[in-house]
Amino acid sequence: MKKNITIKDIAREAGVSTATVSRVLSNKGYASDDIRKKVLAVAKQLNYRQNSIAKSLKMHKTNLIGVIIPDISNPYFMKISKGIEDVVQEKGYNLLFMSGDENPHKEEKQLKLLLEHRVDAIIIATSGKNDELISSIHENDTPVILIDRKLEAGNEKMDFVVENNFEGAYQLTSYLIRQKHKLIGVVNGSLNVSTGVERFSGYKKAMEDYAIVQRDELIFNGDFSVEDGRKAIDYFMGLDQRPTAVLSFNNTMSTGVILQLDKLGLTIPDDMFLASYGETEVAQLINPKGKISVKQSPYKMGVKVGEIILDRLVLHVTGPTQEVFNPQLEK
Amino acid sequence: MKKNITIKDIAREAGVSTATVSRVLSNKGYASDDIRKKVLAVAKQLNYRQNSIAKSLKMHKTNLIGVIIPDISNPYFMKISKGIEDVVQEKGYNLLFMSGDENPHKEEKQLKLLLEHRVDAIIIATSGKNDELISSIHENDTPVILIDRKLEAGNEKMDFVVENNFEGAYQLTSYLIRQKHKLIGVVNGSLNVSTGVERFSGYKKAMEDYAIVQRDELIFNGDFSVEDGRKAIDYFMGLDQRPTAVLSFNNTMSTGVILQLDKLGLTIPDDMFLASYGETEVAQLINPKGKISVKQSPYKMGVKVGEIILDRLVLHVTGPTQEVFNPQLEK
DNA sequence: GCCTTTTCTGTAATCGATTACAGTAATGAT
DNA sequence: ATCATTACTGTAATCGATTACAGAAAAGGC
């Protein structure tokens, strides 16, 4: 049966009080050299391992940061996570992950769970519909940092690290238009989240500015999944007037688009031009002449988030820090 | 400033003792209807949120499962993780992730950290060199489940969910040989981990059985990274006698192989045949005539791991559960 | 009606750390 | 030699839950 060593055991064995043991082990307060050595020796001999739970209870600090992302297998979010982890780990923080599956209801439960676990901060790429809860958590002193996706309302007081989605989509669309594409098939992302909404707005503005007719049948509403990228292609190919270019609003849907075009025996750029918000591995295999994409910097965004967290938790910076990454077109 | 509501607050407000509040909230022991209603009402009104930390300390149970995987951005491991999460979440467990970066030293620190956090169990795809620590943790009553990679020694007592790597590699190699490939370039994985070792053994056995000369210069030792897949191709292409087929021992290296072949303007199957342990998205774009691969089932493996964990933690099953997934060749 | 069993509730100890406080010893200043 | 610091150590309270135990009231059995 498991018998965990506690500072009480060390105290007994070393012939001192638990207060002294604690002082030695945490390197706070006074302790004579003799006792210090003795305590450390006993701790090592007994193979003592501190109990973070007890420490957390007393200190009101868990050194855990909750992370809620919609899709744990999307490389974009995992690169963000890696960036966060690399930064916060240095200061002894660890990440408690939850994947929300683009499901607001699940997300709500996870937020509450993280609060019960008393995480020191929460990082979330929200799936929407939890704005009030998120705001209230932030105001009740568990810092919340929004990543990639903002709230529908109430962003003023929040920390966030996002992209300028409007601008990115605007540039992508303008590029297509300047390349003389008139029939652009849009693979739209979820309109429940800010990235989806903003990218769609950027597209619409560009179409207006260049006075191109917007046709409803050229809009396919997806949910950021590979599968929906494939479905979009099936849909577009079934139209009487097929688009000459497809504009996909996130990396995973672009992957679906590319795979499905290939499956149908269609090629880029002969049969279709691809404009993609975000990059994917499969895109590296297609003809550069047939594509344009918005380059994203998920790792850097993660690093920035990590820095904001540390500012909050270690340096006790208070004001909202809001970081917007600018898009960069790339062939 | 944050003021967390405790059962003490509820007790005061409801005019009962904390014992009663605890009984009501955790649904254990007796409580009259009147008091039950009153307590629940007050809890709701005060927006009470239980403190898992305190609960964990008292109960010696955190409901957290530590997960150590070498690469958080490898879809293979993330699919495993998803499988695990889907199963254990049902029973109220959450995952505490750490990415070991294929670094045994980092992994050792993370194992110790997980112990300090008093996780209820640990799931690990080890990067090697920590066999003793891992065994001792398991024997000291924190269940450890090995995933994908076994230990060098001492597996008898452990739980694990792995693949039959030897068999998979043997089949891949035999296939290549039967297709008349004599010069096979091997992109080897890390020999610090069991998958690397076993796959390499499977290859060697097949070569022996078919009496094919094994040439050292056709072995490129990689570390399971995309980058090393690329390097392997560069290396093979620089040889006087280029291989006619490349045998890559994991998914990420295969991705590198495919991307680099493309970059160099080489095509599959004209310039090279590809045998891959594991599947990747980019492979879906290459000519099926030029490839063969071992299909893996990471999600299913994850589900199995989750079930083993629950057996241990909920049903208190003791004996080691060892699950070996059989490989399946697929074009 | 009397005894047993069940239901209900509170007191207080406990989990494993940290730390305010108090008391004592050693050191330094003049 | 005297007083002020500084160094050291232990006692006990505390964080927020759970629960053994005990005592009291209600319900059930005959």
Give residues 48-87 of chain B lying near strand C (Cβ < 7 A).
54, 57-58, 60
Between CA A90 and C1' D16 the distance (Å) reads 30
Average confidence (pLDDT) over A274-302: 96
> pLDDT-based confidence at A2, cuts 50/70/90?
low
Name the phi and psi angles at A108, rounded to 5: -60, -45
DSSP annotation of B265 reads T
DSSP per-residue codes, B173-197: HHHHHHTT---EEEEE--TTSHHHH
Between CA B266 and C1' D9 the distance (Å) reads 75
Closest nucleotide to A52 by C1' from CA: C17
Verdict on whether the full-model pTM lies above 0.95 = no
B47 touches chain A (CB under 8 A): no
The rounded mean pLDDT for chain A is 95
CA-nearest residue to A282 within chain B is B282
**Most A CBs within 10 Å, among B282, B287, B318, to test the A interface:** B282
State both tokens at A237: 């190919």
- pLDDT score recorded for residue B2: 60
Pair A185, A222: CB distance under 8 Å:
no
pLDDT in tens, A28-60: 989 999 999 999 999 999 999 999 999 999 999
How far is Cα B49 from Cα A115, in angstroms, rounded to an integer?
A: 8
How far is Cα A30 from Cα A49, in angstroms, rounded to an integer?
A: 22
Return the closest-CA partner of residue B219 out of B198, B204, B240.
B204
Residue B265, phi-psi category: left (phi > 0), alpha (psi -120 to 50), beta (remainder): left
Question: Which of chain A's residues have a Cβ under 8 Å away from the Cβ of B286?
Answer: 285
- pLDDT score recorded for residue A29: 87
Angle at B224 between CA B159 and CA B129, to 5 degrees: 50
Between CA A92 and C1' D6 the distance (Å) reads 33
Q: Do B73 and A79 touch (CB under 8 A)?
A: yes
pLDDT in tens, A212-260: 999 999 999 999 999 999 999 999 999 999 999 999 999 999 999 999 9
Closest nucleotide to A32 by C1' from CA: D8
CA-nearest residue to A71 within chain B is B82
State both tokens at A239: 């139209």
How far is Cα A134 from Cα A192, in angstroms, rounded to an integer?
A: 15
How far is Cα A269 from Cα A291, in angstroms, rounded to an integer?
A: 8
Average confidence (pLDDT) over A134-147: 95
B259 touches chain A (CB under 8 A): yes
What is the CATH T-level fold of the domain A59-163+298-330, as seen in this structure?
Rossmann fold (3.40.50)
- pLDDT score recorded for residue A171: 97
Q: Do B285 and A284 touch (CB under 8 A)?
A: no
Residue with tokens 């640990």: B122
The segment(s) of chain A belonging to CATH 3.40.50.2300 are: 59-163+298-330, 165-295
Q: Do A98 and B97 touch (CB under 8 A)?
A: no
- pLDDT score recorded for residue B236: 97
Domain A7-50 matching CATH 3.40.1400.10: the answer reads no
Q: Give the number of other Cβ atoms within 10 Å of residue B113's Cβ.
A: 20
Average confidence (pLDDT) over A168-175: 97
Query: A with B: how many residue pairs have Cβ under 8 Å apart?
Result: 109
The segment(s) of chain B belonging to CATH 1.10.260.40 are: 7-50
CA-nearest residue to A110 within chain B is B94
> pLDDT-based confidence at A100, cuts 50/70/90?
confident
Q: Which nucleotides of C are covered by protein (CB under 7 A)?
A: 7-12, 14-20
Closest nucleotide to B30 by C1' from CA: C8
Pair B249, B200: CB distance under 8 Å:
yes
A284 touches chain B (CB under 8 A): yes
* Exposure class string for B283-293: b at 16+ Cβ within 10 A, else e: bebbeeebbbb
Between CA B32 and C1' D30 the distance (Å) reads 28
Q: Do B118 and A53 touch (CB under 8 A)?
A: yes
**Most A CBs within 10 Å, among B50, B68, B69, B73, to test the A interface:** B73
A41 touches chain B (CB under 8 A): no
Domain B165-295, CATH homologous superfamily name and number: Response regulator (3.40.50.2300)
The CA–CA distances, whole Å, from B169 to A8, A314, B188, B196, B228 equal: 53, 50, 11, 10, 19
Q: Which nucleotides of D are covered by protein (CB under 7 A)?
A: 7-12, 14-20
Q: Do B82 and A95 touch (CB under 8 A)?
A: no
Q: Measured from the CB, is A2 under 7 Å from any atom of strand C?
A: no
State both tokens at B97: 């992730």
How far is Cα A114 from Cα A134, in angstroms, rounded to an integer?
A: 12
Q: Give the number of other Cβ atoms within 10 Å of residue A33's Cβ.
A: 7
Q: Give the number of other Cβ atoms within 10 Å of residue A25's Cβ.
A: 17
Minimal CA separation from A214 to chain B, in Å? 32
B95 touches chain A (CB under 8 A): yes
Question: Which of chain B's residues have a Cβ under 8 Å away from the Cβ of A77?
Answer: none
Give residues 17-46 of chain B lying near strand C (Cβ < 7 A).
17-20, 23, 29-35
Minimal CA separation from A326 to chain B, in Å? 24
The rounded mean pLDDT for chain B is 95
Q: Do B52 and A118 touch (CB under 8 A)?
A: yes
Minimal CA separation from B326 to chain A, in Å? 24
A300 touches chain B (CB under 8 A): no
How far is Cα A126 from Cα B329, in angstroms, rounded to an integer?
A: 40
State both tokens at B135: 């065994």
A183 touches chain B (CB under 8 A): no
A56 touches chain B (CB under 8 A): yes
Q: Measured from the CB, is A54 under 7 Å from any atom of strand C?
A: yes
How far is Cα B201 from Cα B192, in angstroms, rounded to an integer?
A: 13
Q: Do B116 and A52 touch (CB under 8 A)?
A: yes
Three-class SS of residue A198? helix
- pLDDT score recorded for residue A125: 97
Q: Is the pLDDT of residue A1 over 70?
A: no
Question: CATH says B59-164+298-330 is which class?
Answer: alpha beta
Q: How many CA atoms lie within 13 A of B100 on its CB side?
A: 26
Low-confidence stretches of chain B (pLDDT < 70) are 1-2
Return the closest-CA partner of residue A146 out of A304, A327, A315, A277.
A304
Three-class SS of residue A6? coil
Q: Is the pLDDT of residue A3 over 90?
A: no
State both tokens at B83: 């499988």
A17 touches chain B (CB under 8 A): no
Return the closest-CA partner of residue A258 out of A273, A244, A243.
A273
B191 touches chain A (CB under 8 A): no
Percent of chain A residues past pLDDT 90, beyond the cut: 93
CA-nearest residue to B81 within chain A is A72
CA-nearest residue to A137 within chain B is B2
